Each structure stands twice: as C-alpha cells, then as structure tokens.
Structure 1
C-alpha cells in the first residue's frame, strides 16, 4: 500500500498489534458473546440470508476467509444458522497449548465439528468430508510455498489452490466472509453471496482464476481496514518485501 504515508503506516502497525491482542484475549469468551446485544460485548451478522439459504438447500459448501478481525468468531457464529463447518488448523508446537486451543474452539461450538490438521493427511480427510456433502471453512491468506502464484496487492504471492480445486471438483458454493471489529469484543460477521465459479472447460485455468478471485476478495477487505489483518507472516517473496 505505497499510498500510505509514515503516520498511516504507524497507525496500521499499532492497530495490527491491538487487534491481535484483543483476539487472543477474547478467545476464551467467544461462547458467551450474544448475537445482537444492544451494547457492550457481542456480535452481529450481516448477510445472514446467505447462510439461511444454504441451510435450507443442504449439500457441501466451502466457506473462505482470512485472518481478519477476530476470525475465531466465524465457526460458532455461522453454526448458529445451521451451517456449521469443519476447519483446518495448524497444531501448536506445545501439546498442552494445542489441547487448550482445541478445547476452546470446541467449547464455542454447540456441536463440535472436525478440525483437520494442515498437511497431506488433513487434506485427504477434508476432501472426503466435503465429498460426503459436508461443509468446510478455510483461511487462505497465508503463504504456501508449494501453492500456485497469484497476485496479491499487485505482487506475486504463492497461494494455496486447494479450495478452488475442491470447489470446482464438486461444483459447490463458495461463500466469502470475514469479521469486522467494531470495538472491544464487539464484532460483525460479514457474509457475502456465493462466488460465481469459472467454467472455461480447462481445469487448470479455472483453478488459477478462482484462486485469483479469492485473493482479490481478501485484498478488498484488507484495504478497507488494513489494521484488522494479521500482517505478521511473510506473505510475499523476500525480494518483494525488500522492494516495499
């Protein structure tokens, strides 16, 4: 975002750390947050009609988002509309911490759903899960070295193509959504209409196109409130980072 001056950049950096701290602090309290609370802690859902439609329709659905706002609010908030989804997760290095995180995530859900570990085994399990007509959510904003190259903020970025490949394989809805932070423990889940899947007849081309469409959607959300995104990982190649 070269258009930002030094003061705006400092504001983003401060905001990133504040959002991360609040997200961690809110994590154990997510099960207690009330939808449409008149004031104070709570959450609201914009675009709930898309969730209701999928609950009535049934069948596999892929939810796509990124580490924006308090992303931990997505699974329990969506589940309350009858479209709970399984998720991928990266296991913590400390087994005790990992168990605590899993327990907190399960506690936030009325009915716990599978958490697939990132890696080949988890990918196979997730594919089988969707093939059975279930729903899956993925955060796809982080670098994947063995992914495919797509543009992100105008720069090349290695991106996971798994969600696009799965969506095209099953021709199932891809629903984008993210969390906006309105204040301390005050959140808004924004659910958008299902994306239009490409259908050129060339699978490789369609996977690349849908992957780029998803990156573009993520970029649009982040540009609106850049301090809400977890900028702390190396999303771009080192040579791009040096240029910026």
Structure 2
C-alpha cells in the first residue's frame, strides 16, 4: 500500500489529529532549536495537557502516591509534567540537531557505567531498564554516540497516519527497533542472544504482571526484563536521561547493575530505583499513566 493509500485508509479523526500535529510541529521547526524545545513544552503544558485531561490524571495519581505534597506543588506539576513531554517529543522530531548535541557532550555517567563498558568489551547481552522519565531517547543517542547500538521494543501508535512519521523519527535516533508482535519479538530475542543491548520499559501498569510496590502502593509490574536477563545471562541495570535545569541538556544516569536472583526481587529493585529518581525529579516522570489502576 502506498503512503497516500495508507493515509486515506486511516479514520478521519486520526487524519485530522495527525494533520494538526504536523501543522504544529511544522510551525515549531521554523524556530531555532533553543526556542523550539521550550515552545513545544509550553504548548503541551498550557494547551494540549488541559484539553487531553492530563491535569486531572496527574492530580489523581499524585493524591495516591504523594498525598504529602502542597497544593501549590501539585499545581506546578500539572504543568511541568506535560512541559517535559512536549519538549521530549520536539527533541525526537529535531533529528540530528538533538543527537549531535548528545554526541558532543557524551552525558553518560553513574555507578553502572563501568559495567556497561565491560559488557561492551566482552560482547555480553545487556538489558537496559527504562521508564517514561526525562527523555528516553537521550539515553539511546548517548549510547550510539559511544558506538554501542541499543535495540528497542516499541508498540506502534493506534493512529496509523501518525506512525508514518513517528516511527522513522525514532529510528533516526538509534536502531534496531522491534515492533510488538511475533516477528518483532523473534528478531528482538535473536538480537539479544547474539550479544545485543536491549532497552525495555517497566513503569506502566501491566494487567498480566505481578503485583509489586511503587511509591508504597501495589502496582502490577512486568517481569520480562528480569526474566530475559536471567535466560540470556544479560547484564541488567536502570538507565535514564535526566533533563538538566536549562531544559535542553541531559545527564544520562546509568544505575547500579541489578544482581541476578529471581524476577520478582529484581523488578522490585528496579521499581525502588525508579521511585528514588522520580522523587528527586518529580516533574520528569509521566504522571499521566494509570500506574495504580485496579481491575475487577
């Protein structure tokens, strides 16, 4: 199917939403990088966030996880969280302007960096446990800047028209990328078994996961990162692109490797590490997710 036919096959609502996004991003790209990124942050914080109901969701999650926060801090976070999301999306669509900045600064740091360097020399598989924090793609760009290609599993967006440009934008930052599905999973496992590095998310509610703790609350957590690390004797550690106070640069923090034990213990250790990081940078985690939802 041609690109035109794919676009025409998308539902009208999806085409309208995709057209609106392309128009906004097109206007943003007229601006120089240093103004484009904060401009998209402002748009998400003051326009998209309220329209999408994000502020209400953020307040509800904070009421569960951080009931100790003041009303003024909650109000700040209802704007700061969408601002970070908007900046991150603008960075993905900035291509080499974004990746070149990451490569020039080489922002990799943290106690787990020596273990990554040893794994690279030994050709050992690596599981990078990532969350919707800061900018996930800052991590991928930093690793490829060191010559360490990192694969990623992704779920295509429901909006097919949007996928036509979103997935190529992500691929331009780092490859390989594996779509969810039988073929994608098979290719991902071959890549990992051959000594590849794979980033896997773990911070969203998983209905088939195991009930662990996050911010002291029960939340079903996927065990797959730990299970794959055990199966393929892979190094597993947390990693995050932490946005710096200037709003444009990053520190890519490589956490301590998680000792191999059992999947539940390993994933709880990752939840605890993420909680520590989120508490230090509350505005950088995507508090819009329904992390603590209950079923039944």
* TM-score, scaled relative to structure 1: 0.84
Task: Tell whether 2:201 aligns with 1:145.
Answer: no
Q: Report deviation, 1:179.
A: 1.1
Q: Report deviation, 1:94.
A: 2.4
Q: Report deviation, 1:79.
A: 1.6
Work out the CA distance in 1 between the residues paired with 2:106 and 2:80: 20
Unaligned runs of 5+ in 2: 1-65
Task: Tell whether 2:239 aligns with 1:177.
Answer: yes
Q: Cα distance 1:225–1:78, how it changes in 2: closer, same or farther (>3 A)?
A: same
Please, which moves more after superposition, 117-126 or 189-198? 117-126
Hey, which of these two has a bigger chunk of strand by percent?
1
Match of residue 165 from structure 1: 227
Q: Map of 1:84-99 to 2, 5 A cutoff?
A: 84-99=149-164
Match of residue 192 from structure 2: 130
From 247, 250, 257, give the equivalent of 1:194: 257
Aligned to 1:62, the other structure's residue is in SS state strand
Match of residue 58 from structure 1: 123
Cα pair 2:119 2:125 within 8 Å, conserved: no
Match of residue 75 from structure 1: 140
Aligned to 2:148, the other structure's residue is in SS state coil
Work out the CA distance in 1 between the residues paired with 2:254 and 2:192: 20
Hey, which of these two has a bigger chunk of helix by percent?
2
Cα pair 1:61 1:135 within 8 Å, conserved: yes
Unaligned runs of 5+ in 1: 199-205, 240-244
Report how many residues are paired.
Answer: 225
Please, which moves more after superposition, 175-184 or 93-102? 93-102
Match of residue 220 from structure 1: 276
Offset from partner CA, 1:77-126 (integer Å, 9 cap, x none): 112223221111120122232131221122223xx31x222355544442
Task: Tell whether 2:264 aligns with 1:208.
Answer: yes
Aligned to 2:101, the other structure's residue is in SS state coil
Cα pair 2:241 2:252 within 8 Å, conserved: yes
Aligned to 2:237, the other structure's residue is in SS state strand
Aligned to 2:94, the other structure's residue is in SS state helix
Q: Cα distance 1:46–1:30, how it changes in 2: closer, same or farther (>3 A)?
A: farther
From 94, 101, 104, give the equivalent of 1:34: 101
Match of residue 6 from structure 2: none
Q: Report deviation, 1:174.
A: 0.4
Aligned to 2:92, the other structure's residue is in SS state helix
Cα pair 2:106 2:145 within 8 Å, conserved: no
Match of residue 116 from structure 1: 178
Aligned to 1:137, the other structure's residue is in SS state strand
Cα pair 1:151 1:215 within 8 Å, conserved: yes
